[in-house]
Structure 1
Amino acid sequence: MDAEFNQTLITLGGFVDVDKYRYLYFVILLTLYILILSTNCTIMCLICIHRNLHEPMYIFIAALSLNSLLFSTAIYPKLCIDVVSQKQTISHSACLFQYFLYYSFAASDFLLLSAMAYDRYVSICKPLQYPTIMGKRTVVVLLTLAWFLPACEVVVATVISSQHKLCDFTSKGIFCNNTFFKLHCVKSAFLTVYGLFVMMNLVVVPVMFILFTYIKIFVITYHRCAEIRQKAAETCLPHLMVLFSFVCLILFDVIVARLESDLSKIVRLILTLQIVVYNPLFNPIIYGVKMKEIWKQIKRLFC
């Protein structure tokens, strides 16, 4: 690929009235980014500092917070720069890199939630075997797979996409996601099929595994004492809330990009912003409030 093609500028046409609300957009986006950084860093620091939180469940929560930080950093700084710029553009190579980061970290969320579901299953349903099954080695392997596997699969689509020439240079999005494929001169059947394979492998299978695991947990705990049922509800409910919200938002990405749904510009903007706002911002809030040990440390920190 020659340098001229690699540096082709793509216009991000998904913004609404950016000239009129430029500084309002900037303040909102910067505030959201700071909140995401502060809330997720608080959760990670509390888990690192306090030894009673050095358990697999809390390590996975810290990993989820770290993933949210990386995901947000791949999106928000560029958004803040774009809204104060006269033109909202991105080079072809930078767009591909942002696409890679966006989907790698998004898919990692599902695998981390799967690891958390497995941890809860072993803890509640096999408590005597828990220390043996969920040792340090298991935790390291699960964390490595959660970040390494999505990166390996998404990089294939990124490399193949980089070989396609562009005939359209105006994207309907505000950052580079699946809408980028619509700029190709020729629609790639391989990319479409491969995208479905990646979605099945990194989204559908983990979601099915999580649902199956929690159904098993609730069935087993139903026949046990009230204290165990309460423990199961307290630890599983936050995971299910996070999973449900993220699945709904990812469905929007699929519907708009893959099925080419005809949505108004303002609706598309609002839904796109929810993808990069809801999970990174509300995950640490949900875990901070719903997980007793974390909430206890938060109250000690601020009170």
Structure 2
Amino acid sequence: MGNNTYPPYFNLTMFVNIGTYRYPTFVLCLLLYALIVLANFLIIVVISQEKTLHEPMYFFIMCLSINSLYGSAGFFFRFLRDLLYDTHLISRSACFTQTYVIYSYASYELTLLGIMAYDRYVAVCQPLHYHNKMTSKLVSKLVTFAWIYPAFSVGTCVYLASRLPLCGNKIPKVFCANWPIVKLSCISTVINNLVGMLVSTTTVFLPLAFVLYTYARIFLICRKRSSEFKAKVIQSCLPHIITFVNYSITVFCDVALSRIDLENLNPFLAVILSLEFVVIPPILNPLVYGLKLPEIRKLILKMLSGPKPDKQTKSHK
């Protein structure tokens, strides 16, 4: 096959020409990325340094923040550069690398949310057996699986897409994505579609179904318990529920956008919906857990306020 079937560059066509507004937009997006990095890094530092937070639930929260830093880096580094240029060509290798990073980030997020749902289920429905079940060994195995399986499955999809001869190089998004590349194929994509469906089922729909199942069980338990018990459960589970609902919406938007003709949409709306997938979860997760969980909130406020002056020193002065 000719070299033209394996284009050395892809063209990201969803960037809107904003003229002189590109520089304010660049500064705004840079500040947003800085906020994402700061918020998630703060969560990681607080949980890693505070021994009272060395429990499974907080360890999973720290993993979410690490994943947010990973995914947002894969998107923002290239996106900020593209905001300043008139052309939006990305090399073939860079495009497939970005595709892998962004979609492995998405898969990590869903598998971690599924594990966190199991952790909350055991804590609420089997509290007497929680420490026997959620051992450090089991937590390590769950987190390892949550990282290894998506890495392998997403890597398989990206590899299969990279082997396809293509009849074009235009990707109607602001970042590289697997399905728009597959749609450019000059040959049948049956294998890609089958593998994609299998990966979507195991990394998206199964974790979502499991989360729904665990919270249905938690709801049935709460119906028979006291108001005080219900309040404690809500305080413990609400951040995870908010994160789960938010991420479900962003995944649905990305899947829907990949299946429709984006050129028929308002360009600004298409860009906003595309950005939601890679921007909202990394900024919302640390805010939700930092504000809703009192243990983390107190330690963050303590860290930001700095050390208090010694009482003896103060009285001496």
Please indicate, yes or no, whether the TM-score normalized by the shorter chain is above 0.5. yes
Per-residue CA distance 1:214-259 (angstroms, 9 max, x = gap): 1111211221222221111111111111111111111111112134
Q: Secondary structure at the match of 1:75?
A: helix
* CA distance, structure 2, for counterparts of residue 205 and residue 98 of structure 1: 25
Q: Larger radius of gyration, structure 1 or 2? A: 2
Out of 262, 279, 285, the position equivalent to 2:287 is: 285
Comparing 22-31 with 135-144, greater Cα deviation is found at 22-31
Comparing 86-95 with 67-76, greater Cα deviation is found at 86-95
What residue in structure 2 maps to residue 50 of structure 1?
50
Q: Secondary structure at the match of 2:206?
A: helix
Q: Structure 2: 5+ residue runs without aligned partners?
A: 306-317
What residue in structure 2 maps to residue 127 of structure 1?
127
What residue in structure 1 maps to residue 302 of structure 2?
300
What residue in structure 1 maps to residue 180 of structure 2?
179
Per-residue CA distance 1:40-69 (angstroms, 9 max, x = gap): 000110001111100000000000000000
**Shift in Å at residue 112 of structure 1?**
0.5
What residue in structure 2 maps to residue 219 of structure 1?
220
What residue in structure 2 maps to residue 251 of structure 1?
252
Counterpart of 1:116 in structure 2: which amino acid? M
What residue in structure 2 maps to residue 237 of structure 1?
238
Maintained 8 Å contact 2:6/2:166: no
Q: Secondary structure at the match of 1:90?
A: strand
What residue in structure 2 maps to residue 28 of structure 1?
28
* Matched residues, number: 303
Per-residue CA distance 1:76-135 (angstroms, 9 max, x = gap): 011111111232111112111111111111011111011111111111111111111101
Maintained 8 Å contact 1:115/1:142: yes
What residue in structure 1 maps to residue 72 of structure 2?
72
Maintained 8 Å contact 1:7/1:93: no
* CA distance, structure 1, for counterparts of residue 5 and residue 195 of structure 2: 24
**Shift in Å at residue 7 of structure 1?**
6.7
Q: Secondary structure at the match of 1:166?
A: coil
* CA distance, structure 2, for counterparts of residue 70 and residue 109 of structure 1: 11
* CA distance, structure 1, for counterparts of residue 184 and residue 173 of structure 2: 12
Q: Secondary structure at the match of 2:10?
A: strand
* CA distance, structure 1, for counterparts of residue 168 and residue 20 of structure 2: 26
Q: Does 1:210 align with 2:218?
A: no
Maintained 8 Å contact 1:124/1:217: yes
* CA distance, structure 2, for counterparts of residue 186 and residue 32 of structure 1: 41
What residue in structure 1 maps to residue 161 of structure 2?
161
Counterpart of 2:93 in structure 1: which amino acid? S
Q: 1:293 to 1:218 in 2, by over 3 A?
A: same
What residue in structure 2 maps to residue 269 of structure 1?
271
* CA distance, structure 1, for counterparts of residue 33 and residue 205 of structure 2: 29
Counterpart of 1:248 in structure 2: which amino acid? I
Task: Please give the root-mean-square deviation of Cα atoms over the aligned residues, in Å.
Answer: 1.9
Counterpart of 2:64 in structure 1: which amino acid? L
Q: Secondary structure at the match of 1:10?
A: strand
Q: Secondary structure at the match of 2:128?
A: coil
Maintained 8 Å contact 1:29/1:79: no
Maintained 8 Å contact 2:125/2:221: yes
Structure 1 length normalisation: TM-score? 0.95
